[in-house]
A and B are shown apart, each in its own frame.
Chain A
Amino acid sequence: MRALDVIPVLDALCPMHMVLSGTGHVTHAGATLCKLRPMQDLQNARFLELFEVQRPRGLTTMEDLRRVAGTRMHLQFRDTPKTGFKGILVPWQDGAVVNLSFGISILDAVRDYALTNADFAATDMTVEMLYLVEAKSAAMEASRKLNQRLQAARVAAEEQAYTDTLTGLKNRRALDHVLNRLGESGAPFALMHLDLDFFKSVNDTLGHAAGDRVLQKVARYLVDETREQDTVARVGGDEFVIVLPGLTDPARIESIARRIIDRLEKPIPFQGKMCRISCSIGTTRSDLYRRPDMARMMGDADVALYVSKRQGRARHTIYEPSPADTPPDPRPALQAAQK
């Protein structure tokens, strides 16, 4: 078969082919290749001067090229735009035929050269690939937007949540809610503020995982040692508040606090090590106030807690109003009964 006979076939099937002479010069190029570089630039230029063959390496002569016939080549234009190609070379007469395709550089190439469907062989999957790239980008964008909205909804839900995620106890938001409800009802209750002792050293010496484990155990103990109707909330890193409705008797409050302290002083095992903590508690009672103000009661429980800490930890203190404070209302029970 003569060279001329095969060229129309190559033109129809491989719009990115080149015919090389025995000296490695381009004698003919397919239509799409001519769109990338004008024919006068291609014609009679040396193939290896037009293209840098990156793999296989070290090809410098036509003999080198013919030797790698049949293996996949990676190459790019030496001048800009330095479009990358995949290519394959087949010896032909005393020269060769090289066929190229864009490979992964296709997205840049269609833009750099304004390629159209007509620039690709009818059997080429490139246009399908471009379709897929766009279709997937559009679908991804829709999914990304959905994820963003879900994330925003999650943040909003967490802000509105009543549960502390680490311990499963109520959080501060829930506590405020409970206290407001109690305040409105006028029912008597005790407010216990509890702060762990030596928790920081557990965190520092055994790590945060141990710390988290301790907090979870403490949460369990607090729930165990209180009644169904009591509210146990985690209000800070190692701070808890317990609300005990219907309970104002100092002796009973003291016994509950004592039980909690004793329970928390039992070492908590974590990965073969023992975590030792304790706790200090300050309590105030609603019957100490003419009209229980939640912020003030929290503050007073905190004062009592501070007294416990100062006395050497593992203590419980019930708040004592100083004589300067408003004296207790003598008729709190009567008030509650009238409601």
Chain B
Amino acid sequence: MHGLMNRAIECFVRDAYGDDRWADVARIAQLGFDGFEAMLRYETSLTWRVLDAITDVLGKPRNDVLEDIGTYLVSHPKTEALRRLLRFGGVDFVDFLHSLDDLPERARLAVDDLDLPRLELRDLSSNSFSLTVHADFAGFGHVMVGVLRAMADDYGALVMLDHSGDAGPIEVISIVLVETAYAEGRSFHLGAGAG
């Protein structure tokens, strides 16, 4: 598993629950080091151990933890760079949804060894969609639910999201767009992050 993903999980625990809780997680997962390096690769089994430890330490079901991680990635001030990169995908939420098919390619443009799960958006009607997540890493769909929820908020759209439940390596999220311009949303200027 890429260090960026492991590092994201670590930062989520540190920023949302504090360094002490992360120290507990690292100890229970028997990491043998303080924290992940974003630009290195790690054994996938290590990531599972960390997620199990987080589930223990926080006393939350794993799927909820995964969704919280997704939300954190978009909405926390420390992850502003990632929110901006996602916002480049589209001018409104529907446009953004249509950019998800390209997300793994976009990620690879930035970090060439970062493998994100293949995403496939289907338009069921003008306001309902389904997103299929082809993940080696079961549970990635829950992370995407968190990401989508936070991105909808970011665009000011009102959506209903539903994860179809864990069904092997393919997870399906159904997305119903209730209102495109429900709230103000957060601003996005193309040039704000450059240079």
Contact = CB atoms under 8 A, between A and B. Distances in A.
B77 interface: no
A134 B88 CA distance: 10
A131 B39 contact: no
A127 B194 contact: no
Interface in B27-64: 37-40
Interface size class of A (residues with CB under 8 A): 20 to 34
A142 B190 contact: no
Nearest to B38: A142
Nearest to A120: B190
Nearest to B84: A134
Interface stretch (B17-25, B103-111, B118-126, B135-143): B103-111
Interface string B76-104: 00000110110010110000000000000
Contacts of B91: 116-118
A257 B118 CA distance: 73
Contact of B190 (A130, A132, A139, A145): A130
A115 B192 CA distance: 10
Interface stretch (A37-45, A106-114, A268-276): A106-114
B186 interface: no
Interface string A123-144: 0000110111111111100110
A135 B194 contact: no
A146 interface: yes
B88 A127 contact: yes
Contact of B191 (A110, A131, A146): A110
B85 A135 contact: yes
B39 A107 contact: no
Contacts of A143: 39
B1 interface: no
A128 B192 CA distance: 15
Contacts of B40: 146
Contacts, number: 69
Contacts of B39: 139, 142-143, 146
Contacts of A142: 4, 38-39
Nearest to A119: B190
B189 A107 contact: no
Contact of B81 (A107, A111, A138): A138
Contacts of A118: 91
Contact of A117 (B82, B85, B190, B195): B190
A132 B107 CA distance: 10
B38 A134 contact: no
Contacts of A114: 189, 191
A139 B109 CA distance: 10
A131 B194 CA distance: 9
A109 B37 CA distance: 35
A110 B37 CA distance: 33
Contacts of B190: 110, 115-117, 127, 130
A132 B195 CA distance: 12
Given A127-B88, A134-B85, A107 B195 contact: yes
A133 B194 contact: yes
Nearest to A141: B81
Interface in A304-338: none
A130 B194 CA distance: 7
A134 B85 CA distance: 7
Contact of B194 (A111, A116, A146): A111
Nearest to A145: B38
Contacts of B90: 117
Nearest to A147: B39
A131 B81 CA distance: 11
B88 A130 contact: yes
Contacts of A110: 189-191, 194
B16 to A, nearest CB: 20
Contact of A146 (B37, B81, B82): B37
A114 B81 CA distance: 18
A39 to B, nearest CB: 23
5 contacts: A111-B194, A127-B88, A130-B191, A135-B106, A138-B85
Interface of A: 107, 109-111, 114-118, 127-128, 130-139, 142-143, 145-146, 149
Nearest 5 CB-CB pairings of A with B:
A135-B110, A110-B191, A111-B191, A131-B88, A142-B38
Given A139-B39, A139-B111, 17 more contacts: A107-B191, A107-B195, A111-B194, A114-B191, A115-B191, A116-B91, A116-B189, A116-B190, A130-B88, A131-B88, A134-B84, A134-B193, A135-B109, A135-B110, A135-B111, A139-B110, A146-B40
